[in-house]
Chains A and B, each alone.
Chain A
């Protein structure tokens, strides 16, 4: 049904590079350097956000790269190079490049079954989002937060095997996983029968070439990008040469019906809600709202947080739930409400990604130029390393932003409409009935898109 291009078969040089044990750590060293600098500048540098490397390179440069380029095009590729889990992983392995023999060194505790899902990541994201006006503008807080991430990751890798932090805790990991389903790239097996027949399953147990999957995924059963961190250990360990990277149609993972889950559905909902709320609070003309988010008084902030969480967990899911139950009635579906709610939520993924892209576009062009001066003076201490420190703030093409935003939203919406229909089609064989069943979800999607359009352009 779907077409794939086996990239590693097509590019043997790339394969050699990716199979090298040096590949991942080499990139991690680079990001770890930037990350350390972000922590140091955040904590010790100037408190003026727009003059501080930690703020500008994390929340403008990294964020924009991640959401506008890396996730949409390469899915979880960031997680391959991410510095946050690196120290913990190296400690666990007692090594950085070489495959050190023996077991991972940790306490081998068992991660509670009830936490083997995205809920912690959802809570983490909402908690951070409640403080976002503060985190985004205070270098010190950003610095400590980043340090906290590394320490949490190290702590968890001392207690538990593998990347428990990434898989179940990292708030960033949750949304990267969600939106990586849209990417045109995937790591998959070439032939799943080879895996079923292979008794030893080196990709799970590890062998002399590499470790067992740090993400606790069985590559043989991999159908979606969501929990594959692209660390490429399985590419190294598989003795049957059965692992590869494919080029594939965008968004293929959304239609793997068997793996739809409530936690992911909620993740899709809250990410959409957060994009909308951020656009209102941070980009809107309402100064008092910003002040509330900025904790001008504790009571204001409390109200703001209550409103923020309610929209995320009650209002938007409520409206969406209404649409779902309408769809059930319109098409007289026999499927449970819960199942339908979960399934249709995957139609929000393309629109959510587009909304985050549109939101990020609005500040990357306007404030991207801070990066030029900061690279010469990362701490804001008056250095001038590369002679660019006095480069003034110059918004780049602010007139173009809204066109790009409309383009992104348009693509996201149309893709989402098609997704809603195709998901409906899984439940209803009859094509016209399926269209009717998808209609309420489609109206929801259109309504959300119009709100963005109104916020950005009207």
Chain B
């Protein structure tokens, strides 16, 4: 009887940990700032290729293109802008969602166009840490399971 209870608890433990990892509320510690960022598009990448900001920051992107017409599309935020060479376009938004979001070219600009990708990381990148926590609790759960009950198999 007692054994069974322990068994159940063991089964449940990883799920409990996983639930905590997913639903735990977290507060952002960094004070929000305004960030001016110059982002240039060429065939077939963006400079810089990676931008890191903090959640809550106000982002002002100055977008340019140096060769052909490119585009800028930001996953998760749904922002889109067409970039003609020589013209600077400004995009303003506040980084409300944490995580990693790819920005990609939205105007067909040559063969590697579909792979013209950069990344915006909004720290503290909660989705990543949550996924990591989930993974770790999954691994721990599997190991505990195998350790305790593997012997009974077969």
Find residues 43-61 in chain B having any chain A CB closer than 8 Å to their own CB: 44-46, 49-50
A284–B138 CB distance below 8 A: no
Pair B49/A294 contact, Cβ less than 8 Å: no
Closest Cβ of chain A to B60, distance in Å, is: 21
**Contact between chains at B117 and A137 (CB < 8 Å):** no
For A, the interface residue count at a CB cutoff of 8 angstroms equals 51
CB of A395 within 8 A of CB of B111, answer: no
Query: How many Cβ-Cβ contacts under 8 Å join chain A to chain B?
Result: 122
Question: Which B residues from 86 to 112 make CB contacts under 8 A with A?
Answer: 97, 99-102, 104, 106, 108, 111-112
Residue numbers in B under 8 Å from A138 (CB-CB):
111
Inter-subunit contact B125/A413 (CB<8 Å): no
Which of A43-51, A91-99, A237-245 participates in binding chain B? A43-51
Interface membership of B23, Cβ < 8 A: no
Tell me if B146 and A418 are in contact (CB < 8 A). yes
Which of A137, A367, A432, A456 touches B112 (beta carbons < 8 Å)?
A137
Q: How far is the CA of A290 from the CA of B111 in the complex (A)?
A: 11
Given the contacts A410-B138, A413-B138, A435-B147, A285 and B112 also touching, CB distance less than 8 Å? no
Tell me whether A458 is interfacial, beta carbon within 8 Å.
yes
**Nearest-neighbor residue (CB-CB) of A138 within chain B:** B111
Q: Quick check: which of B5-13, B24-32, B62-70, B128-136 contacts chain A, the rest being far away?
A: B128-136
- Stretch from A27-35, A62-70, A207-215, A398-406 at the B interface: A398-406
Closest to B152 in A: A431
Q: Among A48, A287, A422, A442, which residue has its beta carbon within 8 angstroms of that of B49?
A: A287
* Contacting pair A284 B75 (CB below 8 A): no
The closest CB in chain B to the CB of A438 belongs to B146
What residue of chain B has the Cβ atom nearest to residue A51's Cβ? B108
**What's the minimum C-beta distance from A8 to chain B, rounded to whole angstroms?**
29
Complex alpha-carbon distance, A209 and B62, angstroms = 70
Q: A414-B138, A425-B150 are in contact. Are A286 and B111 (CB under 8 A)?
A: no
The residue from A134, A291, A418, A449 contacting B135, defined by CB atoms under 8 A apart = A449
Contact of B150 among A363, A421, A458 (CB under 8 A): A421
* Whole-angstrom distance between the Cβ of A118 and the nearest chain B Cβ: 29
Residues of chain A with a CB closer than 8 A to B116's CB: 287
Given A290-B45, A402-B100, answer yes or no on A49-B111 (Cβ-Cβ < 8 Å): yes
A401→B101 CA distance, assembly (Å): 11
A11 within 8 A of B: no
Q: Is B142 an interface residue (CB 8 A)?
A: yes
Expressed in whole angstroms, the Cα–Cα distance for A334 and B128 within the complex equals: 42
Contact status of A290 and B115, CB under 8 A, knowing A453-B128, A457-B131? yes
**Contact among B73, B113, B143 with A50 in the assembled complex (CB-CB below 8 Å):** B113
For residue B42, which residues in chain A have a CB less than 8 angstroms away from its CB?
287
Distance between B109 CB and nearest chain A CB, rounded to angstroms: 10
> Would B142 and A418 count as touching, CB distance under 8 A?
yes
Selected from A290, A399, A432, the residue in CB contact (under 8 A) with B75 is: A399
Give the interface of A toward B (CB within 8 A).
1, 48-51, 133-134, 137-138, 282-288, 290-291, 294, 363, 366-367, 393, 395, 398-399, 401-403, 406, 409-410, 413-414, 417-418, 421-422, 425, 431-432, 434-435, 442, 446, 449-450, 453, 456-458
Interchain Cβ contacts under 8 Å between A and B, 20 examples:
A50-B114, A282-B115, A285-B46, A285-B119, A287-B49, A290-B45, A291-B44, A294-B111, A393-B106, A398-B75, A399-B75, A401-B75, A414-B139, A418-B146, A422-B153, A446-B139, A450-B132, A453-B132, A457-B99, A457-B125
